[in-house]
């Protein structure tokens, strides 16, 4: 905040993600926190999605299931929902004012 936002320099959290290593609760907590902080500081967030459904490793980020209906859009819906819940938990830009 002090290095960029306070000086009027735009910030985007890009290509962020939490890898699936059988740690769904930790990923939900991470997503909630990231959503909350992005909203609080009025900083857009872009979640990394490479479609890899592997169970471990650094590149397991399948947030959008492109072969399913809208009702089944994410292989990890609780993690994705936590991101949105965190974002909705604060007024957008609350800390940036």
> Rounded to the nearest 5°, which phi and psi values hold at 14?
-115, 150
Encoded tokens for 15: 């290509």
Residues 40 and 56: their CA atoms lie apart, in Å, by: 31
pLDDT recorded at residue 87: 92
* Sequence-distant (≥ 6) Cβ neighbours of residue 67 within 8 angstroms: none
Instruction: Name the H helices within the chain.
Output: 24-40, 77-88
pLDDT recorded at residue 43: 94
**pTM across the whole model:** 0.79
41-88 pLDDT per residue, tens: 999 998 888 777 765 556 777 777 666 665 566 777 888 899 999 999
6-25 pLDDT per residue, tens: 999 999 998 888 887 788 89
> Rounded to the nearest 5°, which phi and psi values hold at 45?
-125, 140
pLDDT recorded at residue 11: 95
């Amino acid at each position: 905040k002090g290095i960029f936002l306070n000086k009027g320099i735009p910030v985007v959290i890009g290509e962020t993600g939490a890898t699936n290593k059988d740690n769904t609760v930790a990923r939900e907590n991470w997503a909630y926190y990231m959503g909350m902080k992005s909203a609080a500081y009025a900083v857009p967030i872009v979640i990394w999605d490479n479609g890899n459904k592997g169970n471990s490793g650094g590149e397991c980020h399948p947030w959008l299931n492109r072969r399913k209906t809208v009702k089944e859009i994410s292989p990890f819906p609780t993690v994705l929902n936590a991101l949105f819940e965190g974002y909705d938990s604060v007024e957008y830009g609350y800390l940036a004012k």
